[in-house]
Structure 1
Amino acid sequence: MSPPLLQNPAHKVKHLGLKYRPDIDGLRALAVLAVVIYHYAPGKFPGGFIGVDLFFVISGYLITGILLKAFETHSFSLLDFYQRRIKRIFPALAAILLFCLIAGWLLLFASEFAALGKHMAAGAGFVQNLVLWREAGYFDVSALHKPLLHLWSLAVEEQFYIVWPLTLWLVLRWRWHVTVSILVFAGLSFALNLWGVASDHTIPTFYLPVTRAWELMAGAALAAWHHPHGRRDNTPMSHSSSILGLALIVLGFIFTRPDRGFPGLWGLLPVTGAVLLIYAGPTAFINQRALSLKPVVWMGLISYPLYLWHWVLWSLAAMVTAGADLFVLRIIKLVAFPLSLALAWVTYRYLEQPIRTHGGLKTSKGLVIAVTALGLGGLTINLTGGLAQRPLSLINPHAKQLLASMDEDAKAPKCFNLIKGATLAKTWSCELGDPQAKRWIMAYGDSHARSLIPALDTYGRQQHIRVVFSGISGCPALLGISILDGRDKVEGPACLELARRAAALADENHAAGVVLVQRWSYYLGGTTKPDEHIRVQTKIQAHDDGGNFSSSFAAQAVAYGLKTTVTRYYRLGIPVLLLKDNPQQPAEFPSWIVRFGNTINLAALNRASVTLAEHARNQGPANRLLEAIARQYPNVRLLNSDAALCNASQCPWFTDGKSLYFDDDHLSITGAMRVYPLLAQALDGLLHIQQPQ
C-alpha cells in the first residue's frame, strides 16, 4: 500500500520529526559563523562561504527524516508540510524584506532602490538564485551592493522543498530502494556539477538547484539510511567520524576558494564533513564536547535570522558609505555583527518562536500574503525605476541629479560579455550606429571598451557607419595570447576566440577600420591607478600559430599579442585605432559624501581626484608600448583622451555638475561623450572622412 500524498491536516500527528539533536544546532552555528566571517573578511577567511553547504546537508537530513516518518505512519499532508515550512521560513524573511523596503526608501538612490526592488521580488518568490545567475557579470553591481544576495541559498532550499516530497513519495509508491534511489539522484546531480565546473559553466553550477541538489541529497541519503536502521551512538566509529568530519570541514575552510571552480570536487569537503558529523550522533566526541555546548547551540538556534540579518546590515551600510575611509568601514563591521546578533535573537524570540508554537493555518496564510505583498512592492519599485520622487527620503536632491549622470548606456548589456561558459556565444557581437550602412568598422576590447559604447554609437549614427561591437570583461582581446589562472590552466578561451573572430570578420566583410580599447596597464602588470598594482605577470602566455604555449612575463606577452594583432590587420590593409587608457580615480565613487545633506561641494571632491602627473606615471609603460607600435606600423593611429578628461593639473571626477565616471575607472555616459569629439576626429582621420568646411 502506497502512502497517501495529501491528507486533511486535522489528521496530522503532533510530532513528525526526529529526536532533537543539539549537536545539529551546533553544526548550524559553525555554518553561520563561517559565512558571517567570510562576508565581513573575505580576504582573511576565503573559504568561509562553504558554511552554506553545511546548511544544505542539514536541511536534506532533517526534511527527509520528517518526510519518511510521516510516510511510514500514513500521516503525511502536503498542506501541513508547507504550512510548517511557511511558519519556519516566512517570519524572518518578511522582517528582512520589510526592513529593506524601509531602509531603501529612506537611504538609497533611485537606481539602487530599483535594483533592491528586483531582488526583493526575487527573494519573495524564491528565485533569487536564478536572478543572480542571469545578472552575473563584470558591470553588474558588485556583490557587496546587493543586500539580498544571500537569499540565493534560501531559494535553492525552497525549490528542493517543492520537488522533494513528491519525488520521495513516488520512490516509495514504486517500491524503489529509498537509500539507493537517493544516492542515484545525488550521483546525477554531482555529475552535472562536475561537468558544469569542468566546462567553465561555474556561475550556473553555483546557483542552479540541479547542480546543488547532491548536497541536500547527501543529507537525505543519511536520513534514509538512519530511518530503518536507527543510529548507534557512542561507538568508536562515531567518535572517529566526528573528528574526521570536523577535520574535512576545516580543510574546506583552509583550501576552498571562490575561484577554484566551486562546488566541483571541492564541495566534497564540507558535504562529506557534515555527513560524518551528523552520522556520528550527539554523543560523539566533537558533537558532545563542542557542538552541544549551550552557547554554540544558542548560536545555532538563531542561525537562520542571523544569516539573514548580518548581510543585509553590512551590505546596506556599505552602499550608503561607499567610498568612505577604510577606518569607517571597519567601525561599521564592528557594529554590524553585534547588532546582527541582537536582531537575530529578537527575531527568533519574539517572532519565530511564537509563530511556530502557536500559529495556525490563518497565521500561515497571513505570512504568505505579507511576503507576497512585499515581493509585489519590490517589483513595483523596480518597474518604476526606484521611485525617484518618493516622500520622506533622506537623499540629497542634488545627489540624485549627480547620480543620474552615471547611468550606463541601455545598449551596453546587449553588446558585452556575450559568452556561454568559457566560449563566445553564437551571437557574439551587436551593431551600433547606422545598422543599414554598408561601410562598417569593428570595435572591441574589455570593459573600458564597453564604457565608450555611447560615443561609438553616436559616431556611427552621425557618419552613417555601422559599428560592430563586442567585448569581454578582463579580456586582453589580442591574437596570440591567452589568460592563465593560478593553476596554469588556460582560462577564458572566449577572450582569444573574440580576437580571432573579430579579425576573421574584418577580413571576410572588408572592415573599413578597427578600434581596439583596453585597460592596457592592467594586463601589463603595472600600476593602473594610485596604489593599485596588478600582479598578472604569470597569468598571460604567448603561443605560436600551432597553439603551443610558452611562458612569458605579462609585458612581453602583451607586446607580442599587440604586434601579432596589428600585423594581421596591416596585412589585410585595415587601419587600426588604438586608444590610450582613460584616467583612473584613486577610489570608488564617494557616494557617502553626496548622498545626504543640502549641498554638494564638487570642487572639494575633485581635489581628491587623480592628478595629471599620477595618471601619466601610471599609464607610462602602456603608453610607451602603444607609441612604439604606432611608429612601427603605418596602419596604426593613437588616440589620447587626456585633453577631454583632464585639465592642466588634474583629471577631475566631476565636470559641470556631472560625474565623468561610472565607478573608479570606467567612464560614464557623460565621460564617454566628453571623449566623443576626439574619438570622432580620430576616426574621421582613420577612415579618411573629410569634414565640411
Structure 2
Amino acid sequence: LITSLILADMDKGSFSLAQFYERRARRILPALFVVTFICILPAWYWLIPIDMSSFAKSLMAVPSFLSNVQFWQESGYFERSTELKPLLHTWSLGVEEQYYLLFPLLILVCWRFGKRRLNFMLLAIAVVSLLFSRWAAHKAPEANFYLLPTRAWEIFSGAFIALYYNRGGVLNVSFRLRQCLGVLGLFMLLSGMFIYDRDTRFPGFYALLPVLGTVLVILFSSPGTLVYRLLSSRAFVGMGLLSYGAYLWHQPLFAFARYHYIFQGEPPATLMALLILLCIILAYLSRRYIEEPCRSKSLVSSRVFRRGAASAAVVLIGAGALAFADKGNVLRFDPALLHIVEGARNSLNPLAEVCRTDAGQEFHIPRAEYWYGKGQKKILVWGDSHIDNTAAQLVDYLPQARIYHAGYASCPPIRGIHRIDVDYSDCAAYTDSVWTWAKTEGFDAIVLSARWRAYVEASKFDNGEGGVEDYVVDFVPDTEYHNEQERRAGILAAYRASITELANEFTPLPIYLVYQIPEAGWDVPDVYLRAASRASEPVLLSTDYGVYQAANRPSSEALDSIDKANIQRIYPENVFCNTVITGRCVLAQGEKLYYLDDDHPSYDGAAALAKYFAGVIAPSL
C-alpha cells in the first residue's frame, strides 16, 4: 500500500518526502508513545535492576527506531529471556521504519533512470538480501532475525506487487485458478504456525513460505474468491483496523504477566484469555482516541504534531537515560541482597582470559606459565565455559595438584564435530591443538567436561516450570547426515569415538569424564532476587530432577557406553540433585547461589563441584 502511494505521487510529480514522513509518523508514533509511557510504571515497580536497565535502553531506542539494534545487541549466549521484555515487539517497528526512511530516498534516486532500472535495482537488492539472510541464518542468527539487511527482501516483495500494478500489470488468470492460488497462499501463510518452532532458523529460506503465501493472497484474492470474501468480512476488517493497537499492547501485557508468574511457569490460561480481551479493548480505545484524531490535520495541525512528537521523544529518551544511569533503579532493593546477587553474577574465573578462548578470538592453548596451585601432580582440565570456575577452585581441594585449564566457550573437547557459526570456526582446530599439546606435557590425569546435552540436542533447555533459556548451540558431525535424527546420531557417535580415541592414546593415564552439570533454565540470580525481595524466609530454588534426567538421557547413555579401563566418571548431579529435596536439583539456598546465569556454576556452585571432583580424583594421584 505504501509503495503504491509513493509511486502514484511520483507519477503525478507531487511526491513530498516531508509529507510522507509526517504521514508515517502520524500513523505510528502517537499510540506507540502512549503505550511506551504507560509501560514505565509497571516496569519501575516489577523489573529487577538488570531488566530495568534493558527497559531503559528500550525507552531510548523506541523513539529512535533502533529497537531492533538494541535487541540484537542484547541477544546471544548470555541473552535475557525475550518473553519477559515488555517492549521486545518494537524491534519489528524499528525494521519497518528504517526501511521507510531509506526506501523513498532509493525511489527518488532510481526514478531518474526510469522504472525499468528501478525494478532491476530493487530486484537486485531483494535477491542479495535473501541470499544474505540464508547465509546469516546459520552464521549470525541473531543479526539475521533483527536487522534490516536480512529482512528487506520480505518488505520488497510487497513493493514488487505495487510496481507491477503501477505499470499497468493485469493478471489474465481464470477465476478457478485465482480461487486455488488464493487458498494456497492463505494455507502457506498459516502453515508456518504449525511447522515452525522456536528452533527454526528464521528468516532465511524458511521465510519464503509465509512471504510467498502473502504474495499469492494479494495477487489472486480478487472479488468473489473465497479468500477475498473471508478477508473482507466484517470480522476480519475489524481485526485489521485494530491490528496496530493490538500489536502494541499485547507484548507488554503478556510480558508483565509472565514476569509476575515466573515461578509458576506460564500464567493461568484464564488470565491470558482476559489479557487478550483487554488487549482488544485497549486497541479499540487507542484507535478511537489516539490514532484517528492524530491522523487528522484538522484536529492536530502539522506544527502541533511535530512539536508534540519531538517533545515525547525527548522525554522518553531522557527518562531512559536517567534510569540507565541509575543502573535500573537499584535503590528499590536491599543493598545486601543486591550484593549477594551481583557477587554470583560476576563470579568469573580470574584467569579466564589466558585459560579460555571466546568466540571470535584467536585461539591459544594454555600457556606454560599459567596454572592453578603449586603441587607436583599435573592435571589438565579441558572443556567449554561450564568448567571455568570449577577448574579455578579444584586446587583448593587438591593441594598436591597443579591444574592446567584448557577451555573454549561453547566448544566441547571432542573431535569429529564442528559448529556452523562463523565465530566458532576455530573450535575443531583448537581441539586438535590441545590434544597434541597434552601429549607433550606429561599430565598425571585429564578431566573432560562439556555441556553435552546442548551440542546433541541443539535446542533450548526447558525446566518445565517456566524457565527456558534463549540460546542454541548448533553443532553438526563431520560425517554426512541428511536429517535431524542423523545429525544427533552423528554427534553421539563422535562423543563415543573421540573419547575412546583419547583414552587409548593416553592409556594408562586416568581420564575423568564429567557428565552434564544440571541446567537451571532460569537465570538464577534474577529469579533469586525476585524471590528474595518478596520472601520472609530463606530462599530455596530448585528444578525437577526428572526433567534433568530426560533431557540428558541420550548424551548420558552415549557416555555410559564408552568401555575403557582408564575412564572414570564424575556425576555433578550428585552435588545438586536429591540432596536437599528428593527429586529436585538445587539452584540456590539461603544466601548461596550455585549458578551465575541459567547454566554456568557460580563460585559457590563451583566450590561444591570442586570438592566433589577432588574426592573422586585424589585416590589416583
TM class, shorter-chain normalised?
0.7 to 0.9
From 427, 431, 437, the equivalent of 1:498 is: 427
- How far apart, in 1, do the equivalents of 2:185 and 2:160 lie? 17
Q: What is the Cα deviation at residue 166 of structure 1? A: 0.9
Aligned: 1:517 with 2:481: no
Distance 1:521 1:78, change over 3 A: closer
Task: State the partner residue of 2:537.
Answer: 601
- How far apart, in 1, do the equivalents of 2:427 and 2:610 lie? 25
SS across alignment from 2:345: coil
Q: Do 1:530 and 1:618's aligned partners in 2 also have CA atoms closer than 8 Å?
A: no
From 278, 284, 288, the equivalent of 1:345 is: 284
SS across alignment from 2:62: helix
SS across alignment from 1:229: coil
SS across alignment from 1:377: helix
Task: State the partner residue of 2:362.
Answer: 427
From 372, 375, 378, the equivalent of 2:320 is: 378
Distance 1:455 1:343, change over 3 A: farther
TM-score (norm 1): 0.70
From 500, 510, 518, the equivalent of 1:563 is: 500
SS across alignment from 2:184: helix
Q: Do 2:385 and 2:407's aligned partners in 1 also have CA atoms closer than 8 Å?
A: no
Task: State the partner residue of 1:310.
Answer: 250
Distance 1:141 1:567, change over 3 A: farther
Q: Which moved more, 1:613-622 or 1:350-359?
A: 613-622
Q: What is the Cα deviation at residue 135 of structure 1? A: 3.2
Task: State the partner residue of 2:593.
Answer: 659
Aligned: 1:668 with 2:610: no
Task: State the partner residue of 1:295.
Answer: 235
Q: Do 1:398 and 1:599's aligned partners in 2 also have CA atoms closer than 8 Å?
A: no
Q: What is the Cα deviation at residue 417 of structure 1? A: 9.3
- Aligned pairs for 1:11-160 within 5 A: 62-160=1-99
- How far apart, in 1, do the equivalents of 2:570 and 2:5 lie? 69
Aligned: 1:471 with 2:409: yes
Q: Do 1:147 and 1:312's aligned partners in 2 also have CA atoms closer than 8 Å?
A: yes
Distance 1:155 1:441, change over 3 A: farther
- How far apart, in 2, do the equivalents of 1:202 and 1:221 lie? 26
Identical aligned residues as a percent = 25
- How far apart, in 1, do the equivalents of 2:462 and 2:27 lie? 49
- 1:264 maps to a residue whose letter is G
- How far apart, in 2, do the equivalents of 1:644 and 1:135 lie? 30
- How far apart, in 1, do the equivalents of 2:201 and 2:554 lie? 34
From 161, 169, 174, the equivalent of 1:222 is: 161
Deviations 1:404-431 (A, max 9, x none): 4552546799899944xxxxx4535798
- 1:268 maps to a residue whose letter is L
Task: State the partner residue of 2:308.
Answer: 366
Distance 1:666 1:432, change over 3 A: farther
- How far apart, in 2, do the equivalents of 1:253 and 1:649 lie? 39
Task: State the partner residue of 2:150.
Answer: 211
Deviations 1:323-342 (A, max 9, x none): 2155x443332222112112
SS across alignment from 1:389: helix
- How far apart, in 2, do the equivalents of 1:458 and 1:165 lie? 65
When the two chains are superposed, the root-mean-square deviation of aligned CA atoms in Å is 4.8
Q: Which moved more, 1:671-680 or 1:451-460?
A: 451-460
From 448, 456, 459, the equivalent of 2:386 is: 448
Q: Do 1:281 and 1:287's aligned partners in 2 also have CA atoms closer than 8 Å?
A: yes
- 1:381 maps to a residue whose letter is A
Q: What is the Cα deviation at residue 205 of structure 1? A: 2.5
Distance 1:631 1:248, change over 3 A: closer
SS across alignment from 1:469: strand
Q: What is the Cα deviation at residue 577 of structure 1? A: 4.8
Paired residue total: 587
SS across alignment from 1:559: helix
Deviations 1:125-183 (A, max 9, x none): 22232333333324321221222222221111111112111110111112351334322
Distance 1:284 1:153, change over 3 A: farther
Q: Do 2:595 and 2:602's aligned partners in 1 also have CA atoms closer than 8 Å?
A: yes
Distance 1:117 1:218, change over 3 A: same
- 1:321 maps to a residue whose letter is Y
Distance 1:632 1:541, change over 3 A: farther
- How far apart, in 1, do the equivalents of 2:504 and 2:581 lie? 37
- 2:497 maps to a residue whose letter is Y
Q: Do 2:76 and 2:142's aligned partners in 1 also have CA atoms closer than 8 Å?
A: no
Q: Do 2:183 and 2:226's aligned partners in 1 also have CA atoms closer than 8 Å?
A: yes
Q: Which moved more, 1:231-240 or 1:309-318?
A: 231-240
Distance 1:523 1:320, change over 3 A: same
Distance 1:372 1:576, change over 3 A: farther
- How far apart, in 2, do the equivalents of 1:411 and 1:593 lie? 23
Task: State the partner residue of 1:356.
Answer: 295
- How far apart, in 2, do the equivalents of 1:567 and 1:266 lie? 44
- How far apart, in 1, do the equivalents of 2:462 and 2:210 lie? 39
SS across alignment from 1:601: coil
Instruction: Give ranges in structure 2 of 5+ residues lacking alignment.
Output: 466-474, 481-485
Distance 1:506 1:682, change over 3 A: farther
Q: What is the Cα deviation at residue 648 of structure 1? A: 7.0
From 138, 141, 144, the equivalent of 1:202 is: 141
Deviations 1:8-40 (A, max 9, x none): xxxxxxxxxxxxxxxxxxxxxxxxxxxxxxxxx
Distance 1:403 1:303, change over 3 A: farther
- 1:469 maps to a residue whose letter is G
Deviations 1:501-521 (A, max 9, x none): 134145348566754322456
Task: State the partner residue of 1:248.
Answer: 188
Task: State the partner residue of 2:106.
Answer: 167
Task: State the partner residue of 2:416.
Answer: 480
Q: Do 1:245 and 1:272's aligned partners in 2 also have CA atoms closer than 8 Å?
A: yes
SS across alignment from 2:331: coil
- 1:471 maps to a residue whose letter is A
- 1:478 maps to a residue whose letter is I
Instruction: Give ranges in structure 1 of 5+ residues lacking alignment.
Output: 1-61, 420-424, 484-490, 533-538, 689-693
Q: Which moved more, 1:141-150 or 1:509-518?
A: 509-518
Q: Do 2:511 and 2:566's aligned partners in 1 also have CA atoms closer than 8 Å?
A: no
- How far apart, in 1, do the equivalents of 2:592 and 2:345 lie? 11
